Structure 1
């Protein structure tokens, strides 16, 4: 196949979008759609190779697989190996164990399945996964395995013309399924081949059904496609269900650019885009670890520009010295495949990753990353932040999400909502509301005041159906909020305390409070957001500048200032309202010379929070005793008088 400069330039447009989005989503909110453009390109190229071989009756599945292995595995194996070396020195045992699992799943091309089972692509936890971006390579490789096999089988039963028509039909049906599945199973739809295959088959359709155009029409088609792609990058965001029907825009745009086939286009055939297009695979491989490093070590914005520069430099070096290496292609049979060097790389790296995973991150003194005081410190708080570590203090037995994921039902412990007498305090919200549970129970128990709790992970209080994308969260949240309201009507507590992690300005608090008070509740207390840290407070605290400091308040680039701005909005909104709003930011943060210094330790020296924002046991007791106690007791006393 003749080298297509327009396709090479389109690769550059795709990788630029992905890189900009990952380093700073504000620059290109829909830049993740660049991956969908890559899928179209890959489908076009693979289909052209396969059908040319089938039509010439010389197609070899073995040679096809070897060619793909030579193209993809060496650069990926090098990246994985470098990450394992990096992890040996700098990652804690838990993080290194996770990296080992991700290396193995990435190099064996099933990382998309692993990441799907762990968390959503846009969740905060994903920013700490060094090889998250390899999910798309796994999807492509799975397509490479299945697609040619099906086509070879089909050739035995039908003519090539019918095969082409079937590819078109499957692409259309695949899109329809993608739209339905994204709505019903959003998290799996993002990661799995079943909802991405149609994008690669659309590329195949561009190959099988080329459109003959005059030069002036080619330019119009190219520009139309380019507009669709660029608008997708700008107007689509991670808040949109993806891939879904919106993926049609970048996919159709890439399809039109390929169909235009303009080798002399100033957009795609310029020197910069031709270079970036040639290096695009390696740039894609190397950019994400830099993104994670900036996030994990809370580095300043200056490092974003450095990270982009290094991504391009490493991409160039990887392309020149790894991708262009001349690996053997002519293997006569499957038994000789072990002589294929990329397969040897795959076996070595996957074995190393698997060993690290099964050895629990090599938690011994021989590994620097596991033996430092900082590593042991992080391990302590990783355990404390785990579900097991928080189960009793957070009363996770009252968490609908926990019940659904552990027991496959929505039943919570009876103690959470069983009547304990008249009045009392009712806690309603998400896991950040749960973080107050220990402190509240410790405060109220000696006074004999009943305490009730209805919470669910990721579920803010609401009177309406949840709009959460993940089905398990949505199901548990709808149930939790419905049960909370029903229980408030039944129990008639004196005081309801509402809390959630963020987005306080998006919740209909006035309607919620009105509904609660119509049940006979005398007082409602809304708790503002806590200061939060990226990627987590423990990881912020192991920085050299903070590690040896005994300060209870610190300033750091990892502080999420958007929550401080949110708190200001909430204070202004409820300044004259009857709703009782408590600003935790006012109590926990200080403004000094234009910088915010927020509490990170309680007086005992223990960390205030166990992860990015959830209170530690000591933090819960501190917040309730030092900030909330007078207000809670005052409201309870006033309602009794």
Structure 2
């Protein structure tokens, strides 16, 4: 068995760690300056795979490797700073976060402590969505991937070492399989491909393969080092969050890091990385990675948006200070402490932290904490309910099915995306406020316009919108109880293809197909074609259609309107957006709708702007009540408020549309 030289310490690898952590911190604090800085995580993966495999191989060569010793060293290395940051984050959350935020944080802390954070965040959302920035422990997903690798790799490596001559080839085969899984899943399952270990292990295996090989021939080392450095710089400055990742793009940081490691410490780039202050930053890179994200995330939460650059810079500098203090006076002390039972004690401390977080989660975020407005503790958590029997009654398998008295003789169907689902929060109030209640049903799929023939192909990925949308339209057109059909969605993002506010980087691509018509890939044209096809279908079946215009997008989090002990300049009284800005954002889709509705004069239009806006502003708070859950979805109070006005318009004796 031939292994690469594995000295006890290589300062250039600490310098490479410094490059990686600065890239990540720079991206999170100043994404405009470091658009691809997230690749620092991939660099860490390669380093970890290289060092861990080298440690195992060296221990086996010397005959002193033990699994208990290996995992004890891992606990001493990982747990001290991790537990410190987790404890500080849980305490800070008690004083700063609203109940639903604190409950979510507690769930994330449990996942982080037990090293399945990547699975937990995969189930919730993607890494780059706006809500990701409001999760103070999101960065622990990468630690989960590494720890899952550490659990499996020593055992798997022992099996591979039964044929030591084939070790490099076996590792390379596993690497190729994992990379293939990465490529295969990127389009259809982007979040899973980003977070889950099967599609990320190839990056750690790249480092493992290096550790299994002999040294690179001396003449090739300088060129390999310079190429590696160029690939890393290209990854940081040429990639961005809108690209499909990891995929082929991840080859830049992985091959770059592998090139620098393989070149050895003697080349010019590696000698540079082996100097101060790179080595210093590399030594504190682990606690710096742990500290930086909560210190950037909490200000975003408290400010209700992106803090100014000075505050973000201060957060970064504080993270560096805390990282150095953690490393110098806590991590090193515990890591090299002679007490043999220290790993068990650290595991016990982690369990206690997990139990504390479990209590917070069980108590729904401890909503009764002093210093928080009672309203703020109630208005942001989404109402999660699904009337028993709704999906069974209508045969729904995909999407949402929310209903109030679905057995009623006359049903109002609300078709749409997550905006339609948000409206359903107001259904119970309708039952209390009308003498002869109609049945109300909300059907649809989040992220999908309720238009016939439309697909979403963001980044080439099919969002699978047609099946749930077609099923909903089929139910509406064939159910004799359906009298009124309300269409509700976040139209502006589909028509323009562009996100708004904090998630303005988000892009949507529509595709329209219908028998006998050429396919359409232009968002505005596909939007109109889909709306026309849908209205034609509903008119053919004699349905009364109400087109509900989009509620205003705020462009900020309404959480800044909530009463907190600390708000970082957020003003609860300035919970508004200029109406001109809302109208400008909605102008494109409204013009498209108006053109289509010229051919459907019987369609009624309901406009929430009449009730949420005056001539100057649109409001997230009305009559002292918060109406929004996030920057574009109504909360329960908002849904009740708007549905009450919609109900009144439907009850009006005139058939004229309130356009």
Give the equivalent residue in structure 1 for 2:552: 530
Does structure 2 retain, via aligned residues, the 8 Å contact 1:206–1:259?
A: yes
Give the equivalent residue in structure 2 for 1:322: 330
In structure 2, C-alpha distance between the alignment counterparts of 1:239 and 1:419, rounded to whole Å:
46
Residues 228-267 of structure 1: pairs in structure 2 closer than 5 A: 228-263=231-266, 264-265=268-269
Equivalenced residue count is 602
Give the equivalent residue in structure 2 for 1:195: 199
Task: Give ranges in structure 1 of 5+ residues lacking alignment.
Answer: 331-337
Determine helix, strand or coil for the equivalent of 1:387: coil
Determine helix, strand or coil for the equivalent of 1:106: helix
Of 434, 441, 448, the match for 1:459: 448
The structure whose residues are more often helix, as a share, is 1
Give the equivalent residue in structure 1 for 2:16: 10
* Alpha-carbon displacement from aligned partner over 1:495-531 (angstroms, at most 9, x marks no partner): 7534227624125321222212433649773623423
Does structure 2 retain, via aligned residues, the 8 Å contact 1:94–1:379?
A: yes
Residues 76-87 of structure 1: pairs in structure 2 closer than 5 A: 76-87=82-93
Q: Which moved more, 1:624-633 or 1:131-140?
A: 624-633
Tell me whether 1:615 sits opposite 2:634 in the alignment. Answer: yes
Does structure 1 retain, via aligned residues, the 8 Å contact 2:48–2:207?
A: yes
Give the equivalent residue in structure 2 for 1:71: 77
* Alpha-carbon displacement from aligned partner over 1:216-244 (angstroms, at most 9, x marks no partner): x4343233323333333344444444333
**CA positional deviation for 1:21:** 2.3
Residues 94-493 of structure 1: pairs in structure 2 closer than 5 A: 94-155=100-161, 157-158=162-163, 160-210=164-214, 212-214=216-218, 217-263=220-266, 264-265=268-269, 268-298=273-303, 300-301=307-308, 302-325=310-333, 327-328=335-336, 339-358=340-359, 360=361, 370-372=368-370, 374=372, 376-382=374-380, 385-388=382-385, 391=386, 397=390, 412=401, 427-436=414-423, 453-462=442-451, 463-467=453-457, 474-475=463-464, 477-486=465-474
Determine helix, strand or coil for the equivalent of 1:379: coil
Does structure 1 retain, via aligned residues, the 8 Å contact 2:400–2:442?
A: no
Give the equivalent residue in structure 2 for 1:43: 49
In structure 2, C-alpha distance between the alignment counterparts of 1:547 and 1:234, rounded to whole Å:
32
In structure 1, C-alpha distance between the alignment counterparts of 2:460 and 2:375, rounded to whole Å:
33
In structure 2, C-alpha distance between the alignment counterparts of 1:488 and 1:200, rounded to whole Å:
51
**CA positional deviation for 1:96:** 4.1
**CA positional deviation for 1:4:** 2.5
TM-score by length of structure 2 reads: 0.77
Task: Give ranges in structure 2 of 5+ residues lacking alignment.
Answer: 1-5, 498-522, 598-604
Residues 559-638 of structure 1: pairs in structure 2 closer than 5 A: 567-572=583-588, 574-575=590-591, 578-579=595-596, 588=612, 598-603=618-623, 605-623=624-642, 636-637=655-656
Determine helix, strand or coil for the equivalent of 1:372: coil
Give the equivalent residue in structure 2 for 1:53: 59
In structure 2, C-alpha distance between the alignment counterparts of 1:31 and 1:316, rounded to whole Å:
22
Give the equivalent residue in structure 2 for 1:334: none
Does structure 2 retain, via aligned residues, the 8 Å contact 1:101–1:354?
A: no
TM-score by length of structure 1 reads: 0.79
Query: Alignment RMSD, CA only?
Result: 4.5
**CA positional deviation for 1:105:** 3.1
- Relative to 1, partners in 2 of residues 1:358 and 1:481: Cα closer, same or farther, differing over 3 Å? same
**CA positional deviation for 1:611:** 4.3
